[in-house]
Structure 1
């Protein structure tokens, strides 16, 4: 019996990440070279996955191609590295009944012209020949962002062998590939080219991978596969770490099975513990043979997306340039005992109607400022400074823009701040920014000439009327600079120390990530009551049990209590009730925030500005009640 025979009747679990475990062991160089220099370490990782129950393992040859090996002057070792990788995997699998897939990874990122198809063919042919010569049980073509490259590689591989071929793409956004094709379209093409298994791997965690597969029908003859990441990585103490736990992955394996996936493995951040949980979850599971497709809420066809665009980036930038005249942010908010900032994410397309409807609704609800992220999660959006100009001039709402260090070098950041000051956009929050690798533009680089501390200091230099070079700006800028404060850190005292360093750099106020623990809010107060700068506590309403699980397990810096998770889980199958429960939880948290802090920072989920408007009104009503109660006590 072969791998395809197994997949006909049941769900099969594959291994997880190789590079993650090597990285955790302190190795940060060419992982594939270890097939030659430290083979026992590679073999031990294979054995760990087999011990966890994996029935399919892949060779440590993902980047063992000519293009990537050149970075380490190893291109002449291509055949040796691939052959050694295949031998190591086969020796580890011997006697276990597990299948070994020879791995060939994508070369191109989002720049199709950076490597020619001729170069790709020559390199991949050498790699495929080397893997096949060592008796692998099939080929795994994984992490292909460019459809043309995968089609070329698959056609080449199919000419070389009749063994099973797994062909996996990495999608950038909402199920669309780099050339605009859908997953359904791409999987059909791959099936026609001879792929036995088609699927997704990398970039996405299990939540989004499951979500996008809901739109994909079962293939006619091939099988579906999914190798999700362990959520998004967080940068902690100088290293990237993934946070999705094994239990969550086990539950997610069942969700993937329900979408028709028969080969389930793991990609970046996954470990033998994740694999063991998946094995236990799908044990004895029969694959589904029929499926009802589910369109994503608000999804558009590519044609609709082009036709219905009504505004362009040029139209957004139509506001005139005015000199800086705004008050400092803490002066604005000091006029009353509570303030509300609401975040509304800039659109990811040129369709802006929903965004500006939200601005109007939030203005009517009584927000004090509207904050807009700067390409959050390293995904491109309409520039927040362009939207801020419209928000300020047309709607009379005070804009507060995030400025990330990731996307601009020293020159770009200084120029950007000059533009903000000249436009009279004086309120900002300085952030370092998520690494580019977590976003949907593979190959994009993170600049990080500055970090958030440096950016705060730079803004203060602007307020003194000078550039870092010492050159005069002619007039003083009038920036009020906010900074991020992580309320969910494991060691709160260290988090407060970091906050104090930002104050020393010049931070005027702070905004936190969402908090879902009432006790934590009280702890934050006692840990920061010596600090004079205002702290806006983050509140983001949950909209479903899935949303709660995703935030808790996959989003860096967010933690939900068991009680909150249980409350949302009660309404797993009732969307309206779940959304209402999410609002109830948010209002309870706001009550506690107002007891200890004067600032509330409401984050709008998925452009659902009606919820943020309702919560804004609730803040004002709750604050008024508290004021009346205090007045009666005084009397």
Structure 2
């Protein structure tokens, strides 16, 4: 049985017709640079364990629900669990049991956000966020696909046993890890989206062209991913990559761009936030509109907040 048969991807509302869905921006950079919070290991997931942390997350998501309401769009609630996998959680002193509990708590919080959105007539989707084993900017010592399947399997199994509608692997730097995530999601019976990051030349940090990476994941997983995204890169970094021929562009359904035009290496060394120009970022998204016929999910990544995403969605709608 193929993954397409075993997981009904058509149940995802962001894949139906010409719907537009909003998702959030740069959660961690907002918390660090706007709120002045200390996030060890750049991890936001511990916030779900305290009343103050949950209140802050509700306010954060509320800004994006408001954007969805104003633009009559849907909303993808991405759980704050980008770092909530085994390796990063161990650095923070989390046991396997506590990690499982915090991932479940993150979904419960996302469900509260969903309920509030639906009360305003907004179609909302809950996505369990999966992050890379290593640094989001560096493929480092990449795992094999089988190692990645085992490594990410526990978190994905947790999400599959909750009310999450899908899992989204964000800031994937290499194909093998992405394939492992897709296979783990297939085994758990939950839809999965893969979001690659690219360098300033439009290639993955491994040097592989974006189109080849998407084609390879599809080839080695029997088109197991529900869709693909690009995140943690500026539109000027990946815009040229969209010129490569093929149907692979129709597999790109989401964008979560950085505010800054800086490279990953430059951002890694930055001590101040580069928030860029929200209006310019929005204009650069609108320029991509004709190249991405299947795009349905718009949000942001490092340096962005609700101002950027509001401008992006407005420009996209207007274009």
TM-score, structure 2 normalization: 0.78
Specify the alignment match of 2:84 in structure 1: 64
Gaps of 5+ in 1: 286-635
1:257 aligned residue (268, 289, 303) = 289
CA, structure 1 residues 216+153, in 2 after alignment: closer, same or farther (shift >3 Å)? Answer: farther
How far has the Cα of 1:119 moved from its partner? 5.8
CA, structure 1 residues 13+5, in 2 after alignment: closer, same or farther (shift >3 Å)? Answer: closer
Are the counterparts in 1 of residues 167 and 193 from structure 2 also a CA contact under 8 Å? yes
The secondary structure found in structure 2 opposite 1:154 is helix
Specify the alignment match of 2:180 in structure 1: 152
- The number of equivalent residue pairs is 281
CA, structure 1 residues 50+5, in 2 after alignment: closer, same or farther (shift >3 Å)? Answer: closer
If each structure's helix is expressed as a fraction of its own residues, which one has the higher value?
2
How far has the Cα of 1:283 moved from its partner? 2.5
The secondary structure found in structure 2 opposite 1:184 is helix
The whole-number CA distance in structure 1 between the counterparts of 2:185 and 2:245 is 25
Are the counterparts in 2 of residues 224 and 262 from structure 1 also a CA contact under 8 Å? yes
How far has the Cα of 1:267 moved from its partner? 0.7
1:214 aligned residue (243, 255, 261) = 243
Cα offsets for 1:185-229 (capped at 9, x unmatched): 111123342112113111x21222323223364438634322111
Q: Is 1:41 the counterpart of 2:56 in the alignment?
A: yes
Specify the alignment match of 1:450 in structure 2: none
The whole-number CA distance in structure 1 between the counterparts of 2:17 and 2:214 is 18
Are the counterparts in 1 of residues 14 and 296 from structure 2 also a CA contact under 8 Å? no
The whole-number CA distance in structure 1 between the counterparts of 2:318 and 2:190 is 29
The whole-number CA distance in structure 1 between the counterparts of 2:245 and 2:125 is 27
For the pair shown, which has the larger CA radius of gyration, 1 or 2? 1
CA, structure 1 residues 7+211, in 2 after alignment: closer, same or farther (shift >3 Å)? Answer: farther
The whole-number CA distance in structure 2 between the counterparts of 1:120 and 1:190 is 13
TM-score, structure 1 normalization: 0.41
Q: Is 1:189 the counterpart of 2:216 in the alignment?
A: yes
The secondary structure found in structure 1 opposite 2:62 is helix
Specify the alignment match of 1:18 in structure 2: 27
Are the counterparts in 1 of residues 20 and 297 from structure 2 also a CA contact under 8 Å? yes
Alignment of 1:527-538 (within 5 A): none
Alignment of 1:52-451 (within 5 A): 52-53=67-68, 55-76=75-96, 77-94=98-115, 95=118, 96-109=122-135, 110=138, 112-113=140-141, 120-163=148-191, 165-192=192-219, 193=221, 194-202=224-232, 204-215=233-244, 217-219=246-248, 222-232=251-261, 239-260=271-292, 261-283=295-317
The whole-number CA distance in structure 2 between the counterparts of 1:5 and 1:170 is 21
CA, structure 1 residues 19+112, in 2 after alignment: closer, same or farther (shift >3 Å)? Answer: closer
The secondary structure found in structure 1 opposite 2:239 is helix
Are the counterparts in 2 of residues 14 and 56 from structure 1 also a CA contact under 8 Å? yes
The whole-number CA distance in structure 2 between the counterparts of 1:189 and 1:116 is 14
CA, structure 1 residues 271+220, in 2 after alignment: closer, same or farther (shift >3 Å)? Answer: closer
Specify the alignment match of 2:38 in structure 1: 28
The whole-number CA distance in structure 1 between the counterparts of 2:249 and 2:299 is 22
The whole-number CA distance in structure 1 between the counterparts of 2:87 and 2:304 is 26
CA, structure 1 residues 190+265, in 2 after alignment: closer, same or farther (shift >3 Å)? Answer: farther
How far has the Cα of 1:68 moved from its partner? 0.8
Specify the alignment match of 2:71 in structure 1: none
CA, structure 1 residues 222+117, in 2 after alignment: closer, same or farther (shift >3 Å)? Answer: closer
Structure number with the bigger relative contact order (C-alpha 8 A, sep ≥ 6) is 2
The whole-number CA distance in structure 1 between the counterparts of 2:195 and 2:215 is 12
Are the counterparts in 1 of residues 131 and 172 from structure 2 also a CA contact under 8 Å? yes
